[in-house]
Structure 1
């Protein structure tokens, strides 16, 4: 079960946003990621708890940012409920539904989750519809992305061979593209994300996985 720490930055101007302390592992359902998010002054600002099924679909999501919280999962697409801690009776809770494939947001968890859902072969590409939960108030919006797996490189490490997947991710509305490098269920490099510490090797996808 790898655990570690990411530093988070604004992907446009590199302004520090804080850190995310995480752990992740395969589980009975498929894969689970949990984390605590901290601001630049080390104050707790949020949390992530994401469980995927064996096909990489979002079985359950609990996401918190400040006083805002979203709980969601799969039900004929995606469904979610967004609440505010200052509204304890949930009088003003809002429910949402979209025939999207997965959630996305600032957390590195969502990059790993999308890659596990797509299961691309090297040279393969696909597009998908996502519900983005935007900090700081977790406002939902839908977007379309295109993912391509440009290649897989194998590196020798003390704990054995490490396969690194190189993706190009495109916003299909704006045409903006960026690179994402994953090692199993750990993000090595992506806009606004830096892996600062890692305790234990990533969980690699088995070679029998269609996308491995």
Structure 2
């Protein structure tokens, strides 16, 4: 079960945005990721099923809490969520929402792993996907369209043997902004605004839905 730490930074200015300490592992439902932010109370807890769909997503940040998961609305894939104050006794109401989308996305690398596994691309393939992004700082859900392309899988030598690393090109279709994501199993090695700083234990390579974990 790998555990470690990711650092976040503004990809334009380079300003540091925080650290997320995580662990992830396969489980009865498929795969689970849990992380806590250093010093800021952020929590990200994501469970995927065997096909990469978000069975359960829970996030806490900046006094807000979002809980959600996959659903089917009018025969189409959707996600549903409840967003409200992290402390319900502090005032404010929880609000329910839904959108026809495939999954969630946000700052945590867990969402990159989840999307890659859900899409299950082969090398050279590309696809457009609609997601619900949990925007910073208030975790406000907003739909967004992304283009994902798996451009190559390259093996890197390690003391434990070759390590397959998948290279994805990811585009925000609203702005045209593009970035590159490198995944080794269920660990993000690098992505726009994300760097892997610590890793204790090898990545999980699960067989099944997607190239991110397979």
TM above 0.5, yes or no, is yes
TM bin, normalised by shorter chain, reads: over 0.9
What residue ranges of structure 1 are gaps of 5+ in the alignment?
none
Distance of 2:184 and 2:30 partners within structure 1? 17
RMSD between superposed Cα atoms in Å: 1.5
Matched, 1:53 2:49: yes
What residue ranges of structure 2 are gaps of 5+ in the alignment?
73-77
- Matching residue of 2:75: none
Distance of 1:147 and 1:90 partners within structure 2? 40
- Matching residue of 2:125: 124
- Matching residue of 1:25: 25
- Matching residue of 1:10: 10
Judged with a 3 Å threshold, the aligned counterparts in structure 2 of structure 1 residues 67 and 210 are, in CA distance, closer, same or farther, namely closer
Distance of 1:195 and 1:169 partners within structure 2? 18
Deviation at 1:210, TM superposition (A): 6.3
**Structure 2 length normalisation: TM-score?**
0.92
Paired residues, what number?
Answer: 207
Please show how residues 1-212 of structure 1 align to structure 2 within 5 Å. 1-38=1-38, 43-76=39-72, 77-88=78-89, 92-206=93-207, 211=211, 212=214
**Structure 1 length normalisation: TM-score?**
0.93
Judged with a 3 Å threshold, the aligned counterparts in structure 2 of structure 1 residues 177 and 210 are, in CA distance, closer, same or farther, namely closer
Distance of 2:117 and 2:210 partners within structure 1? 10
Judged with a 3 Å threshold, the aligned counterparts in structure 2 of structure 1 residues 27 and 139 are, in CA distance, closer, same or farther, namely same
Distance of 2:63 and 2:22 partners within structure 1? 20
Judged with a 3 Å threshold, the aligned counterparts in structure 2 of structure 1 residues 210 and 57 are, in CA distance, closer, same or farther, namely closer
Contact kept, 8 Å, 2:24 with 2:32, in 1: the verdict is yes
Contact kept, 8 Å, 1:169 with 1:180, in 2: the verdict is yes
SS in 2 for 1:160: coil
Distance of 2:189 and 2:210 partners within structure 1? 22
